[in-house]
Amino acid sequence: MIQCKDIVKIYKTGEIETTILKSVSFQVKEGEFVAIIGPSGSGKSTLMNILGTLDVPTSGDYFLDGKNVAKYSDDELADIRKNKIGFVFQSFNLLPRATALRNVCLPLVYAGLDRNEREERGKEALSRAGLGAEHYHHYTNQLSGGQMQRVAIARALVNRPSIILADEPTGNLDTKTGEIVMETFQELNFQQGHTIVLITHERDIAEYADRIITVRDGSIVEDRKNTRKKIGIAGVDDRQKI
Amino acid sequence: MKIIDLLEQTFLSLLSNKARSGLTILGIVIGIGSVITMVSIGQGASGTITSSIESLGSNLLMVSPGMARGVGQQVSAGRGGAQTLTLADANAIADQIYGVQAVAPQYSTRAQVTAKGANTNTSIYGVTEPYAAVRNVEIQSGSFITQAHNGSKAKVAVLGPAVVEDLFGEDADPIGQTIRFNNMDFRIVGVTVSKGGSGMNNVDDVIYIPLATAQQYISGDDKVGMINVQGESQKLLDQMEIDITALLLERHKIADETLADFQIMNQADIAASASSIAGTLTILLASIAGISLLVGGIGIMNMMLTTVTERTREIGLRKAVGAKKGDITIQFLAEAVTLTFLGGIAGVALGWIASLLVRHFGNTATQISPVSVLLAFGVSAAIGIIFGYYPAWRAAKLNPINALRYE
């Protein structure tokens, strides 16, 4: 599914070269829920950008569904993002002055789907992300933080991606709402089988995943299985993985 | 991305900033509107000039008296001030110059004319029969001055429609009535068709009488004011001009051409210089208006740059969910072109109305050509593309990582 081999990322600012990632290698299998954790400046955001094909590594290979996308052009990467990756951002990044449904359907516009098909799939994604149907036609600035993040999650789901990348998805939410959002991710993983890579600097949040990769100073220092944090909804962690 | 989605997005984002979009469009409206108005004024003027020159007649050479210079004197009385041309000169041209279709000498003066208590001051032209053909004078009712009128030195007159209106009122039929000037009664035998025109050189404000009558009873000599020569074709005019010059120099016994006591105007030259003046006028007006269009275009660019900055995060997001550079470029270009296109439509309407108002209240001929309307549309779309391209390009090249984190 995801295979990173000796990924190196060096930023050049004038004469000064800064090595952000020093030979990072790991794999994520289909259906995994992986948290990448590390302090700020560890290189986890850069790693997330490379995994999301928003950026390309300086050297090394990145296989996504068997294809090495490390050397793809901008437009080819855009196609990869369109078809294989769903993003959830810390600050939601929803379009203001647009309804929840319209926001969710945005990726499908670039996929060239008809309006009817878009709305059908948008509604399906919103219900999977757990947003009440009464909010579908609300403008996003009328929604609460938790609801906005559900819309963002639905947007990440709508193109049926191979992998969902969540960058500090609880960073702008209070603890209670953050827990609900993390439970949503667990449901998406356990019940619906989505592959999720979560980037965070909070150990509490990383505990929701079933594997935790710790990054420090551009290298992976720990990669361990995690007994996932018991989630609030009774019985959910007992459900079979799909 | 589908066209319908592109259009929807474009209108939604323009509508989300109505005031700004409206003001930006206004810049284009004023630009396009003033181009249309100015060009219509320029073309109207050019049309007026062209038609008034054409109404003079075709393939025409006009021989008029030159400067009067006494023997041994250096004082010039100015062009046309002399009475150097005679009827004999006109006959010599008719007889000796190759390519002459017709020769129409004319004598001009002004007189106070009265008829049944009404009076006016107008031009009196003494003419011969060929004058009507040479100078494109058409008869509305009655007949023009004939050979017989000239032969008998008849006191008959043909009136221009403006004179008829001044003396007899509009739509009156004055044929058979008499007018009086220079203490003589003239019987009206015809009325000419209106050629249009206004002011000092109104070709409708004229009374034609037989040349022989004018020479006999008004001037008392055989001088003529001007000799109109019509050539058989346009191509012959230049050679005819040279031949007539040589002939008249010989007849007037003048050795040095620079001292000639007459001058010849070629109608084609007049038309060419007049249309070049009109063309320059149109270009001048259009370029003044073009500046406002340029300013409007810069307004579009300014707004689009602001929009791109404001929507940096949105652009980042769109790229993250799979928009290609081309998708972003086309989105912002579409917004710019839509603004200019809407501005173009409103501008054409405004220009149209403005030029109608100018025609109505300004008493100036205006002429809206479909070409200038199409051109205005083309220019406004082009402005959208040119001034929208840079902001769109800036948007498309934004790095999605930075754009997503832009505050």
Q: Which CATH superfamily is domain A32-55+74-230 in?
A: P-loop containing nucleotide triphosphate hydrolases (3.40.50.300)
Looking at the complex, report in whole angstroms how far the Cα of residue B306 sits from the nearest Cα belonging to chain A.
17
Q: How wide is the angle at C-alpha B203 spanned by C-alphas B201 and B209, nearest 5°?
A: 120
Percent of chain B at pLDDT above 70? 95
- Among all residues of chain B, which has the CA nearest to that of A104? B321
Query: pLDDT at residue A61 above 70?
Result: yes
CB contacts of B325 in chain A (<8 Å) are 74-75, 78
Q: Which pLDDT value is given to residue A230?
A: 58
Q: Which pLDDT value is given to residue A237?
A: 46
Using a CB–CB cutoff of 8 Å, tell me whether A49 touches chain B: yes
pLDDT in tens, B137-165: 889 889 999 999 999 999 999 999 889 98
Q: Which helix (H) or strand (E) holds B250?
A: helix B237-251
Q: What is the 3-state secondary structure (H, E, C) of chain A?
A: CEEEEEEEEEEEECCEEEEEEEEEEEEECCCCEEEEECCCCCCHHHHHHHHCCCCCCCEEEEEECCEECCCCCHHHHHHHHHHHEEEECCCCCCCCCCEHHHHHHHHHHHHCCCHHHHHHHHHHHHHHCCCCHHHCCCEHHHCCHHHHHHHHHHHHHCCCCCEEEEECCCCCCCHHHHHHHHHHHHHHHHCCCCEEEEEECCHHHHCCCCEEEEEECCEEEEEEECCCCCCCCCCHHHCCCC
Nearest to A74 among B2, B318, B325 (CB): B325
Percent of chain A at pLDDT above 70? 95
CB atoms B324 and A78 under 8 Å: yes
Using a CB–CB cutoff of 8 Å, tell me whether A77 touches chain B: no
ipTM: 0.89
- Among all residues of chain A, which has the CA nearest to that of B319? A78
Using a CB–CB cutoff of 8 Å, tell me whether A237 touches chain B: no
Task: Give CA–CA dist B191/B176, Å, rounded.
Answer: 11
Q: How confident is the model at residue A242 (pLDDT cuts 50, 70, 90)?
A: very low
Q: Which helix (H) or strand (E) holds B281?
A: helix B267-310
Query: pLDDT at residue B18 above 70?
Result: yes
Q: Which pLDDT value is given to residue B281?
A: 85
Looking at the complex, report in whole angstroms how far the Cα of residue A227 sits from the nearest Cα belonging to chain B.
32
Q: How confident is the model at residue B254 (pLDDT cuts 50, 70, 90)?
A: confident
pLDDT in tens, B73-104: 455 555 545 578 888 899 999 999 998 999 99
The answer to whether A128 and A154 are in contact (CB under 8 A) is: yes
Query: pLDDT at residue A80 above 90?
Result: yes
Looking at the complex, report in whole angstroms how far the Cα of residue B399 sits from the nearest Cα belonging to chain A.
8
Q: Which pLDDT value is given to residue B2?
A: 83
Q: Phi and psi for A14 in degrees, rounded to 5?
A: 65, -120
Mean pLDDT score, B216-242: 88
Query: pLDDT at residue B269 above 90?
Result: no
pLDDT in tens, A152-211: 999 999 998 989 999 999 988 888 888 888 988 998 898 888 999 999 998 989 999 999
- Among all residues of chain B, which has the CA nearest to that of A155? B321
Looking at the complex, report in whole angstroms how far the Cα of residue A225 sits from the nearest Cα belonging to chain B.
30
pLDDT in tens, B165-180: 889 888 788 899 999 9
Query: pLDDT at residue A235 above 70?
Result: no
Which of A7-16, A44-53, B196-205, B241-250 is the least confident region? B196-205
Mean pLDDT score, B323-330: 93
Return the residue matching tokens 């670039």: A110
Q: How confident is the model at residue A231 (pLDDT cuts 50, 70, 90)?
A: low
Mean pLDDT, chain B, as a whole number? 86
Q: How confident is the model at residue A139 (pLDDT cuts 50, 70, 90)?
A: very high
Query: pLDDT at residue B380 above 70?
Result: yes
Q: How confident is the model at residue A226 (pLDDT cuts 50, 70, 90)?
A: confident
Mean pLDDT score, B365-373: 80
Q: What is the 3-state secondary structure (H, E, C) of B318-379?
A: HHHCCCCHHHHHHHHHHHHHHHHHHHHHHHHHHHHHHHHHHHHHCCCCCCCCHHHHHHHHHH
More confident residue, B69 or A57: A57
Task: Give CA–CA dist B38/B285, Å, rounded.
Answer: 5
Domain edges within chain A: 32-55+74-230
Q: Which pLDDT value is given to residue B201?
A: 62
Query: pLDDT at residue B330 above 90?
Result: yes
- From B26, B15, B22, B18, select the one nearest B347 (Cα to Cα): B26
Predicted structure pTM score: 0.71
Query: pLDDT at residue A236 above 50?
Result: no
Which of B46-55, B72-81, B193-202 is the least confident region? B72-81
CB atoms A74 and B316 under 8 Å: no
In a mutagenesis test of the B interface, which of A93, A113, A119, A139 is the best target, namely the one with the most B β-carbons within 10 Å? A93
- Among all residues of chain B, which has the CA nearest to that of A160? B321
CB contacts of B324 in chain A (<8 Å) are 74-75, 78-79, 110
The tokens describing A220, both together, are 């992976």
CB atoms A82 and B321 under 8 Å: yes
